[in-house]
Structure 1
Amino acid sequence: MHRGLIHGISTELPMAEHRACARHIYSNLKKNHKADMLKPLFWRVASSYNSGDYKENLAIFKEFDAQACQALLQKDPTTWCRAFFRVGCCCADTHNNHTESYNRTLKIARRKPFVQMLELIRRDAMQRVANRSTIAEKETAKFTKKARTEVQKSCEGAQYCAMVRTTGGEYEIVEFGMGYAVSLSGRTCACRMWDLTGIPCRHAICAIREMNFEVEDYISDYYLTAKWQETYRRGLKPVNGSKFWPDSGRPRIAAPPFKRPAGRPKGKARIKGLNESPRKKKSETKVGREGRIVHCGLCGEAGHNSRKCPHESPESRAKRLKQNDIPQLEAQDQAEMEAAFAAMEQAPPETQPEVQDVSSSAPQISFINRILFG
């Protein structure tokens, strides 16, 4: 949605690969296309590792909803589909969940003043690096847990593959009648999963096993435990408090004048996207509004309410709008006030009895009259 980022990346970083978050691409697509089946079909397209799978999954998507497919292709697929990602970085992510987790940690920090906000962010980052360093130091295997998990999945899928050997260190792996060219020396496979992730795919695992090689020798060095430990070994250094900071001698920066905005406060939480958070579990005792059909209170037909009833006459609509101009509470108060005045006019005036002070210390009436009139 921010076209300035696309222009800025292409201008300032022309050699850098710019990827777009596929989850946000789907959120924008979901605004105008509400079908529930679009989500799994979209992620099949975005997760395609090669051009063959991309064309096949895109054809299925187009057959289901041609208009949604046309709207989807308006976004450059080279930025959100794995089939067009550049190889070499050993990262096949199609989303930016790492930045979303960072935004989650800023929920408390964004409520603070500027300096306190930066200090809280720095301390949170320092604590996070320390925690991950502790976890990495406890790892004893040669490769990280993520790499071992992916290799285990590939080994399970390799049982459905068969190898056809050729010369030059290349092999053809047949899986359900489809051939895939694998090069162990170049560490490439036609499915491109090995090329993008750096972890051998099921086709490569089949060739490695048939040649009696070790699978760990073909995993990228990016997944070494030593690399992981070195990443978090040098954490952030602690910083002394504000009373230890040198005084610059310049005037202090005052906070801008605060003016309460109109409307209900929205809070400090970040506004989430349409499909960002999973829906909460529906209550078993309350009936939701989803699927409810609106009926008009005037004509009784479905599809509209009494405010936009097409069968209401202009005279009736004008009369109803005039009645709605006066608040109900104000009309009720006015009616009660008129009833009270009418009751006071009909009731006879009551004579209040004279109240005499009978206390011993109060002066008597005869004594006061003698002093005033002699």
Structure 2
Amino acid sequence: MAERVISGDYQLQYGDYALELLNTNPGSTVRIDVYPEPCLSTTTRTFRRIYVCLGALKLGFKVGLRDFLGVDGTFLKGPYPGQVLSVVGLDSNNGIYNVAYAMVEAETTSSWTWFMELLGEDLELGVNSNFTFISDKQKGIIPAVAKVFPNAGHRFCLRHIQENLKKQWKGKELSDLVWECGRETTLNHFKYEMDELKKMNDEAHSWLCKILAETWSKSHFSGRAHTDCLLNNLCEVFNAKIEGGRDKPIITCLEYIREYLMKRFYVVQKEINKCQGELSTTATIVLEGIKTRATKYVAKYNGAGKYQVASTWQDQYVVNLNERSYTCRFWEIIGFPCSHVVSAIWNKIENGEDAPDIEDWVHPCYKLSTWKAMYLNKIDPKIWSFNVGRPKKKRKRGVDEPNSQTTKLSKKFLALACSKCHNKGHNSRTCKGQAGIGEVGSKGKTQAKRKRQGKGNRVGNSVK
């Protein structure tokens, strides 16, 4: 009973939550889906799904300039089975940025298709959209993405691929080699690592070749997403944050998610206020690491805008500053200038030529101005009564007002008299024969004492 008062009732907590959310957060999208009812005369319907995309999240993601989304689902822990579906992107600081979430009956092709169609309407994504999604290959997600966004890229989490491979072929060396294949950014290096994998285990190589390299290796990634992410830990982080609300009733769980997102916006805003410079905090750290590695390279200019960049271990690449192309594909995939480009720019400066600023080669999605724009709109708070269905009292009774069930008045604020000495200020349990304040003196004490003695004698005589 106490749990129902605090968190709400699982059966009764189905109120006008959608309308309340739309009133407090303009621009949001809340869609409710119900089971089809064979009897049309029935006025009620059975709840099946709810989709939520808050207005602040929608506007922030559109200005983030990053066409990359992670999709995943996690189960509910209450008495009614279900799944929480989520779509999570990346902000300018490489932090998670939740876009939309939903509660559905199960992870199926139907529920994922319904979710993706609503997401496409909110983000204004058409059939020819070239967004990039990453998932754990859970049930229904692959055909749903292929149906709603046939031209979109779909990456698979490399950790899950590795775990599936380990079920048949164990060994740390084999697993490490799979990761090397996924991290390589050029086709030549990818083919070399795959050949090494084939030499080690031909069966594992054949099993891995059945999975398209476009879904798990950087060497085959396009530059649309501006990230080299190989893991779907975006959604896993979000699922861990909302774990405390997954065992609650439906509205309590939805409010738990909204409150977490509202608090996260405030925490990120404090970090934005501390940041100084042109780039976000993480982008600045990444660029400094690139500059440190660039000191190990030597660039040689050919006089026509092209540079041959090599390191002490004979790792050679070609950089074309005029066309912004490089054989390592680092800038194309992630949006940062690689160490070879930085080395070429430094060589151009040493020769007394005009060279662009290194920060200008960073994609705008990592700029501090973009980071601020993503969190400019805030999620508004709201007050929701979780005790849906609980009858309210008509009004509160006054202090001196009698209860409707009894005619007795409250004894609060009344000065009661002792039943032994008849003095006020104490009761019979604490009576020591004292006089009440401002009541009686020594004469009252004597009379009370004689009265008690006489009462005792009468009782004694009756016993005899």
Q: TM-score, normalised by structure 2?
A: 0.50
Is residue 19 of structure 1 aligned with residue 162 of structure 2? no
Letter in 1 for 2:292: E
Matched residue, 1:218: 361
Structure with bigger RCO (C-alpha 8 Å, 6+ apart): 2
Counterpart CA distance in 1 for 2:378 and 2:166 is 41
Q: Larger C-alpha radius of gyration, 1 or 2?
A: 1
Q: Deviations over 1:144-200 (max 9, x none)?
A: 222222222222222332222235423222334343221223332111111111111
Letter in 2 for 1:233: L
Is residue 230 of structure 1 aligned with residue 373 of structure 2? yes
Counterpart CA distance in 1 for 2:139 and 2:241 is 27
Q: Deviations over 1:238-292 (max 9, x none)?
A: 12323899xxxxxxxxxxxxxxxxxxxxxxxxxxxxxxxxxxxxxxxxxxxxxxx
Letter in 2 for 1:205: V
- 1:38 corresponds, among 174, 180, 190, to 174
Matched residue, 2:385: 242
Alpha-carbon distance change, 196 to 137 in structure 1, aligned in 2, over 3 angstroms: same
Is residue 186 of structure 1 aligned with residue 329 of structure 2? no
Matched residue, 2:280: 144
Alpha-carbon distance change, 120 to 79 in structure 1, aligned in 2, over 3 angstroms: same
C-alpha contact (below 8 Å) 1:49/1:192 kept by paired residues = yes
Counterpart CA distance in 2 for 1:65 and 1:104 is 36
Matched residue, 1:105: 241
Counterpart CA distance in 1 for 2:386 and 2:161 is 47
C-alpha contact (below 8 Å) 1:187/1:195 kept by paired residues = no
C-alpha contact (below 8 Å) 1:22/1:46 kept by paired residues = yes
Q: How does 1:45-64 map to 2 (within 5 A)?
A: 45-64=181-200
Matched residue, 1:334: none
Q: How does 1:114-129 map to 2 (within 5 A)?
A: 114-129=250-265
Counterpart CA distance in 1 for 2:323 and 2:156 is 29
Is residue 204 of structure 1 aligned with residue 341 of structure 2? yes
Letter in 1 for 2:249: P
Counterpart CA distance in 2 for 1:16 and 1:228 is 25
Matched residue, 2:229: 93
Alpha-carbon distance change, 88 to 170 in structure 1, aligned in 2, over 3 angstroms: farther
5+ residue gaps, structure 1? 246-374
Deviation at 1:47, TM superposition (A): 0.8
Deviation at 1:32, TM superposition (A): 1.2
Aligned-residue RMSD, C-alpha: 2.0
C-alpha contact (below 8 Å) 2:272/2:372 kept by paired residues = yes
Q: Deviations over 1:80-130 (max 9, x none)?
A: 111111113311111111100011012111110111111111111111121
C-alpha contact (below 8 Å) 2:198/2:205 kept by paired residues = yes
Counterpart CA distance in 2 for 1:185 and 1:87 is 19
Counterpart CA distance in 1 for 2:274 and 2:300 is 42
- 2:293 corresponds, among 157, 172, 179, to 157
Letter in 1 for 2:280: T
Q: How does 1:77-88 map to 2 (within 5 A)?
A: 77-88=213-224
Deviation at 1:227, TM superposition (A): 1.0
Counterpart CA distance in 2 for 1:244 and 1:104 is 27
Counterpart CA distance in 1 for 2:195 and 2:386 is 65
Counterpart CA distance in 2 for 1:139 and 1:219 is 17
- Partner of 2:316, secondary structure, is strand
Counterpart CA distance in 2 for 1:186 and 1:220 is 15
5+ residue gaps, structure 2? 1-136, 350-354, 389-464
Q: Normalized per residue, which structure has more helix? A: 1
Is residue 9 of structure 1 aligned with residue 145 of structure 2? yes
Counterpart CA distance in 2 for 1:44 and 1:16 is 25
Counterpart CA distance in 2 for 1:116 and 1:56 is 53
Counterpart CA distance in 1 for 2:231 and 2:322 is 31
Matched residue, 1:365: none
